[in-house]
Amino acid sequence: MIEGVRLAEEALAADWAVVSGFYTEGISDRGSAIVAAFTARGAALELVAPQVMTAASDTQSPQGILLELGFQQLPTPKQITLALIADQLRDPGNLGTLMRSASAAGAEILILTPGSADAWAPKVLRSGMGAHFRLPLLEMDWTQIRGFCDQHQLRVLLADTNTGQPVDKADLSVPLALILGGEADGAGPEARALAEHTVHIPMRGPTESLNAAVAGSLILFEAARQRRSKDELA
């Protein structure tokens, strides 16, 4: 289930099938265009009263459109050069934000370990801002993750606090799997056993750590920066 004009636009652009949906009469012009486009594709969208939308919505201020989509599993790319592994990341907002950053930074896949938040929960979908339609998601146990990293010959790095290399000194331009631990307890023992090295974000002052989504985003975009520089020198 997705809500709002922005997510509906992303679903339309990604050509995801709509099973059913609601919209209200006071929807914006952008929303009306989305309704018309999905209707032209054969989707059954129903005009409802505002109070019906409010009752069905997961948000306090509905934007006038709510869609039930048919589930699609995006294919895993044959070549993986940057994978993000979220280890027991339980906060839905952080997971959605990380998905958005991973997609924008050029990661080809996101892997979720057991104990992580539901990637398709409403808050994750809203925070992801359409990343679900672009970034393949896999749920794996650690045996499967090890096999996946070996298959794609990925160097495994663990983002940690104040241990290992600073991220701007580490080589993040190689085929890489980055493990990011959960908000409360960090990475688990399986993650630490798999990681070849740890990296950290240097910080000034007494700040102990960063929000998981912020930390992951910074490292992902440092990897993107290094890869862009490497391509420019090639």
- On whether the CB atoms of residues 142 and 115 are closer than 8 A, the answer is no
Tell me the mean pLDDT per 10 residues along the chain, length 234.
94 93 92 94 93 88 91 94 96 95 97 94 94 96 97 96 91 97 82 95 80 94 95 82
Please report, as a single letter, which amino acid is at residue 67: L
Please compute Rg for the chain using Cα positions: 20
Q: What is the pTM of this model?
A: 0.90
- Please tell me the predicted confidence (pLDDT) of residue 119: 95
Quickly list H helices, the chain: 5-13, 29-40, 50-56, 92-105, 122-128, 142-151, 189-194, 212-233
- Please tell me the predicted confidence (pLDDT) of residue 232: 86
Contacts of 131 (CB under 8 A, 6+ apart): 96, 99, 100, 102, 103
Q: Terminus-to-terminus CA distance in the chain, angstroms?
A: 44
- Please tell me the predicted confidence (pLDDT) of residue 187: 83
Domains belonging to the chain, first-starting first, are 2-69 (3.30.1330.30), 82-233 (3.40.1280.10)
- Please tell me the predicted confidence (pLDDT) of residue 69: 94
29-40 and 5-13 are packed helices; what angle lies between their axes, rounded to 10 degrees? 30
